């Protein structure tokens, strides 16, 4: 980390900023095109969200006004690629750059207006500006294409006008508007941009400067324009959010020359706080420079720290990152810290790039859950590639860290316990006397931040993480987190794209909403325990916390659906999940039978099925075997294999309905025969028969089963304190994605310092928070 910081200091002097701003620099290193962009001498065809657009442009206009190879010609080559990247459905960063309430200004839109056509339907207002000689074709393309896109994406259409204006004129009456796009006459090199009426009343969110810096004389005017526009945001926010920073997006083909880039950087650094990461840091960060899409060749080179996205960093070959931050800490006024460490930490954390990308690579999940349902949900997301930050109690950690024995022994030479087995399966635990194993049930592929969010500083840290997260999952009683300003409505004001999932025993509404609920209580109250157990025995719980696990599965599904929805709406949402709802949902056929018949359920059936016979476990000489004669044909196979083919034609057993009626006769008959041989003997007899059968194994035999091992369901990983440990692997197996246990469950607070460094805290600040008990 220190080497990276030094390399930054070697690049540019970091100065205190005059304004708050972020800069996004996109660079096209060669002339390769993306597979979804096609070009002829007079048109550009771009596929935008699966809709094909043809944008007309006259090369003669460019060559008649500028020499070939100058900015216009480069814009012609580059902006369709940027437009496609910004709006392509596969771009998971899309919702972080373009949002429905944003106002976007394009300085120098060019005659094609590619960015305006592509992006205007997805933002609140889009101003495509240029000098007078470009306006004719610019208006033509905006009118022909933007309206079409707006209709396809159900956006409102505005009034249009074809009035012309003299170069440099800024009056609103000479603008052309269609849909969300406005064409505005503007020579940004000569105009005081903030004086334009259309801009005065708006908060500016994004400025596109497509190929504006093509010679050194334009550097200072652009920097001045950027500073001028950033001032417009002060006090303009009416939505309850804090004033948003401006994001500047630049596109160029090597910025004409390194000298121009250097001039721009030095001038920009004089007004804004800037860090530029040199090319050498990113040689191993991408996919060989192939670009964003399969068959592509366009390498998009950065994203600002505010929008920095793990997937974007880890999959792309990056050459320049420039981040500009104001004097305020990313977590508010109570703490002061620069953003430099945050950028570097993102890159450090994703330094090992899998050969195949993970499905959720780049998605950040803030995990405020404990025990099993919530941690199991977030572990699934972590297995799929998300960066999961687990917030744990500052001293005791997750509740499951104390749930033992058994515990995994420590092997790092330190005193104290290892990890609880339960935590190893779902989460993490404070050091106990000898061991700690329980936490690991649902805590792999997570980072641990030990934090007291009852402290103001702790709340500020959680809010800062929520502001840069895609998903937050919590399982506190309704209203609990609102006391600390960590409820959905509060956090949504700072992050409109946040998906906030609440898991409780009985939901956010209803007469039981204020009740706490553990798995076994919900199993009892919501019907599962009543139908579980032997026919004449007492009700029993399922051997694993099945209600917790199914709730975790349901919640992870809901989150994935919300992430998918966000790609089209750019909005997050609140997900209300409860153990009680999920348990009722999984009553499945039993609930359906009760609803259809109007009668009470049939009670407990042990391993048997109320509607299928034979379909249960039968005794063997050394254990049990489960046999499934689910239809008449399979029942016939069973009869032949156990040596009584005549049973299949017995009038009492010829149909499943009959077999259910005479269950009390047939089941003992089969059992009397199966107990004469061992389980292994019966497995050999039924092998290849086509009839479902299975040994009843204990968990030890299951984890050592040939098939389980062949499928890679047990994996050994290295634990920070316990050394090599074995964990149950993820069941996901994708043909073209990497899904695996990337790292073992963390020790309590193992990643606290790293995560705080990402937020910009210095070592002294982190040590101070630790000494005060805010973090550990």
Is residue 353 pLDDT above 60, yes or no? no
244 phi and psi angles, rounded to 5 deg = -80, 150
Residue 198's pLDDT is: 74
DSSP structure string for 264-284 = HHHHHHTTS--EE--GGGGTT
- Per-residue pLDDT band at 242 (split at 50, 70, 90): very low
Residue 647's pLDDT is: 97
Residue 120's pLDDT is: 79
Q: Which two tokens stand for residue 183?
A: 């064409």
DSSP structure string for 677-740 = S-HHHHHHHHTTSSS-EEE---HHHHHT-HHHHHTT-EEEEEETTTEEEEEEPP----SSS--S
- For residue 356, the SS3 value is coil
Q: Which two tokens stand for residue 376?
A: 């199991």
Cα separation of 716 and 18, whole Å? 52
Average pLDDT for 67-94: 47
Closest CA to 384 of 294, 470, 304: 470
Fold exhibited by the domain 2-349: Rossmann fold (3.40.50)
* Higher-pLDDT residue of 248, 690: 690
Cα separation of 739 and 253, whole Å? 36
Helix (H) / strand (E) element for 251: namely strand 246-252
Instruction: Kindly report, residue by residue over 639-689, the tens digit of the pLDDT.
Output: 999 999 999 999 999 999 999 999 999 999 999 999 999 999 999 999 999
Cα separation of 433 and 183, whole Å? 71
Is residue 266 pLDDT above 80, yes or no? no
Residue 401's pLDDT is: 58
* Higher-pLDDT residue of 755, 338: 755
Cα separation of 312 and 207, whole Å? 20
Cα separation of 582 and 568, whole Å? 28
- Per-residue pLDDT band at 419 (split at 50, 70, 90): low
Return all residues near 31 (Cβ < 8 A) that are at least 6 apart. 77
In terms of DSSP bridges, do strands 21-27 and 446-450 run parallel, antiparallel, or are they unpaired?
unpaired
Cα separation of 65 and 62, whole Å? 5
Is residue 97 pLDDT above 90, yes or no? no
Helix (H) / strand (E) element for 94: namely helix 94-97
Average pLDDT for 106-117: 76
322 phi and psi angles, rounded to 5 deg = -125, 120
Q: Which two tokens stand for residue 214?
A: 């093509």
Average pLDDT for 343-355: 32
List the beta bridge partners of residue 451.
775
> How crowded is residue 633: how many other Cβ atoms within 10 Å of its Cβ?
11
Q: Where are the alpha helices (DSSP H) in 418-574?
A: 421-426, 456-467, 488-492, 519-525, 546-569
User: Distances from the Cα of 705 to the Cαs of 50, 702, 709, in angstroms?
Assistant: 47, 5, 6
Cα separation of 490 and 462, whole Å? 12
Q: What is the sign, positive or negative, of the torsion defined by CA atoms of 134, 135, 138, 144? A: negative
- For residue 548, the SS3 value is helix
Average pLDDT for 348-356: 38
Q: Which two tokens stand for residue 118?
A: 């592509």
Q: Where are the domains of the chain?
A: 2-349
Cα separation of 154 and 95, whole Å? 18
Residue 263's pLDDT is: 66
Q: What percent of the chain has pLDDT over 90?
A: 36
* Higher-pLDDT residue of 406, 32: 406
* Higher-pLDDT residue of 426, 660: 660
Closest CA to 204 of 181, 222, 226, 188: 226
Beta carbons of 296 and 34 less than 8 angstroms apart: yes
In terms of DSSP bridges, do strands 471-474 and 364-368 run parallel, antiparallel, or are they unpaired?
parallel
Average pLDDT for 411-416: 54
Instruction: Kindly report, residue by residue over 115-168, the tens digit of the pLDDT.
Output: 777 777 778 888 888 877 677 777 777 766 655 554 544 433 333 332 323 333
Residue 208's pLDDT is: 78
Helix (H) / strand (E) element for 63: namely helix 59-65
User: Distances from the Cα of 314 to the Cαs of 345, 358, 362, 371, 489, in angstroms?
Assistant: 12, 11, 8, 31, 31
Instruction: Kindly report, residue by residue over 551-562, the tens digit of the pLDDT.
Output: 999 999 999 999
Instruction: Kindly report, residue by residue over 365-411, the tens digit of the pLDDT.
Output: 999 998 889 999 999 999 999 999 999 988 877 666 555 555 555 55
- Residue identified by tokens 């005193």 is 415
- Per-residue pLDDT band at 447 (split at 50, 70, 90): very high
| Cα 663 to the center of its chain, rounded Å | 51
330 phi and psi angles, rounded to 5 deg = -65, -15
- CA dihedral of 305, 220, 68, 78, whole degrees rounded to 10: 10
b/e code 538-560 from CB counts within 10 Å (16+ = b):
eeebeeebbbbbbbbbbbbebbb
Residue 305's pLDDT is: 30
Strand order across the beta sheet in which 37-39 lies? 37-39, 43-48, 51-56
Q: What is the mean pLDDT of the chain?
A: 70
> How crowded is residue 221: how many other Cβ atoms within 10 Å of its Cβ?
18
Helix (H) / strand (E) element for 247: namely strand 246-252
Q: What is the sign, positive or negative, of the torsion defined by CA atoms of 649, 650, 656, 658? A: positive
> Which of the residue ranges 193-202, 303-312, 417-426, 483-492 would you say has the lowest mean pLDDT?
303-312
Beta carbons of 740 and 382 less than 8 angstroms apart: no
> Which of the residue ranges 41-45, 165-169, 442-446, 475-479 would you say has the lowest mean pLDDT?
165-169
Q: Which two tokens stand for residue 522?
A: 């919900």
pTM of the model: 0.58
Closest CA to 145 of 257, 276, 57: 57
Residue 19's pLDDT is: 33
Q: Which residues are catalytic?
A: 548
Return all residues near 698 (Cβ < 8 A) that are at least 6 apart. none
Is residue 36 pLDDT above 80, yes or no? no
Is residue 519 pLDDT above 90, yes or no? yes
Cα separation of 753 and 759, whole Å? 10
363: left (phi over 0), alpha (psi -120 to 50) or beta: beta
> How crowded is residue 622: how many other Cβ atoms within 10 Å of its Cβ?
11
Q: Which two tokens stand for residue 334?
A: 């109570």
| Cα 402 to the center of its chain, rounded Å | 30
- Per-residue pLDDT band at 106 (split at 50, 70, 90): confident
Closest CA to 662 of 654, 653, 670: 653
Q: Which two tokens stand for residue 233?
A: 């945001």
**Residue 332 per-residue DSSP state:** B
Q: Which two tokens stand for residue 579?
A: 């153990």
Cα separation of 283 and 269, whole Å? 25
């Amino acid at each position: 980390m220190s080497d990276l910081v030094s390399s930054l200091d070697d690049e540019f002097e970091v100065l205190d900023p005059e304004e708050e701003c972020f800069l996004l620099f996109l660079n096209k290193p060669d002339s390769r095109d993306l597979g979804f962009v096609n070009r002829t001498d007079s048109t550009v065809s771009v596929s935008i969200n699966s809709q094909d657009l043809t944008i007309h442009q006259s090369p003669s206009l460019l060559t008649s006004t500028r020499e070939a190879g100058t900015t216009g010609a480069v814009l012609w080559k580059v902006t369709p690629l940027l437009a496609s990247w910004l709006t392509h459905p596969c771009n998971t960063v899309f919702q972080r750059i373009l949002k429905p309430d944003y106002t976007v200004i394009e300085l120098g839109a060019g005659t094609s207006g590619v960015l305006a056509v592509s992006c205007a339907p997805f933002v609140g207002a889009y101003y495509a500006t240029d000098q007078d000689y470009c306006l004719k074709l610019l208006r033509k393309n905006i009118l022909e294409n933007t309206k079409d896109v707006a209709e396809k994406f159900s956006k409102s259409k505005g009034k249009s006008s074809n009035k012309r204006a003299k170069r440099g004129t800024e009056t609103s009456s000479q603008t052309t508007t269609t849909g969300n796009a406005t064409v505005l006459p503007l020579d940004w090199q000569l105009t005081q941009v903030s004086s334009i009426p259309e801009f005065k009343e708006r908060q500016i969110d994004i400025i596109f400067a497509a190929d504006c810096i093509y010679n050194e004389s334009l550097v200072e005017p652009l920097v001045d324009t950027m500073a001028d526009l950033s001032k417009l945001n002060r006090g303009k926010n009416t939505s309850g959010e804090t004033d948003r920073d401006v994001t500047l997006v630049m596109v160029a083909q090597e910025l004409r020359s390194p000298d121009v880039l250097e001039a721009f950087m030095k001038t920009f650094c004089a007004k804004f706080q800037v860090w530029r990461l040199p090319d050498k840091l990113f040689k191993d960060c991408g996919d060989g420079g192939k670009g964003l899409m399969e068959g592509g060749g366009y390498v998009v080179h950065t994203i600002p720290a505010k929008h920095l996205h793990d997937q974007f960093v880890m999959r792309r070959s990056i050459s320049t990152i420039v981040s500009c931050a104001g004097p305020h800490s990313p977590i508010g006024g109570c703490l002061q810290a620069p953003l430099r460490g945050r950028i570097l930490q993102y890159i450090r954390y994703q330094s090992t790039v899998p050969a195949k990308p993970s499905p959720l690579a780049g998605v950040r999940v803030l995990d405020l859950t404990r025990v099993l349902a919530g941690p199991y949900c977030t572990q699934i997301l972590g297995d799929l590639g998300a960066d999961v930050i687990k917030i744990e109690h500052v001293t005791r950690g997750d509740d499951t860290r104390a749930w033992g024995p058994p515990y995994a022994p420590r092997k790092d030479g330190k005193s104290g316990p290892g990890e609880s087995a339960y935590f190893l399966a779902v989460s993490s635990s404070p050091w106990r006397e000898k061991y700690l194993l329980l936490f690991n049930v649902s805590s792999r592929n997570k980072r641990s931040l030990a934090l007291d969010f009852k402290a103001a500083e702790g709340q500020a840290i959680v809010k800062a993480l929520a502001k840069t997260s895609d998903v937050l999952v919590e399982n506190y009683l309704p209203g609990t987190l609102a006391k600390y300003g960590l409820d959905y409505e509060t956090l949504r004001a700072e992050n409109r794209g946040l998906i906030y999932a609440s898991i409780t025993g009985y939901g956010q509404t209803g007469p039981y909403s204020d009740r706490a609920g553990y798995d076994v209580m919900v199993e009892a109250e919501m019907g599962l325990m009543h139908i579980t157990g032997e026919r004449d025995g007492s009700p029993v719980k399922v051997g694993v916390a099945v209600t917790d696990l199914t709730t975790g599965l349901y919640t992870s599904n809901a989150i994935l659906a919300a992430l998918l929805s966000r790609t089209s709406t750019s909005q997050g949402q609140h997900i209300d999940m409860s153990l009680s709802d999920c348990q009722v949902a999984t009553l499945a056929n039993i609930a359906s039978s009760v609803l259809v018949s109007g009668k009470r359920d049939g009670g407990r059936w042990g391993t048997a099925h109320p509607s299928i016979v034979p379909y249960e476990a039968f005794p063997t000489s050394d254990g049990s075997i489960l046999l499934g004669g689910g239809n008449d044909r399979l029942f016939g196979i069973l009869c032949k294999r156990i040596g009584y083919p005549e049973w299949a034609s017995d009038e009492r057993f010829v149909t499943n309905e009959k077999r259910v009626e005479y269950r009390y006769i047939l089941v003992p008959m089969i059992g009397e025969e199966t107990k004469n041989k061992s389980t292994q003997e019966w497995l050999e007899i039924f092998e290849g028969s086509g009839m479902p059968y299975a040994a009843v194994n204990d968990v030890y035999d299951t984890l050592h089963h040939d098939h389980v091992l062949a499928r890679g369901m047990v994996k050994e990983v290295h634990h920070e304190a316990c050394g090599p440990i074995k964990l149950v692997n993820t069941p996901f197996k994708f043909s073209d994605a990497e899904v695996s246990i990337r790292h073992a469950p963390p020790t309590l607070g193992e990643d606290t310092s790293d995560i705080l460094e990402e937020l910009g805290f210095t070592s002294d600040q982190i040590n101070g928070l630790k000494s005060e008990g805010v973090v550990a």
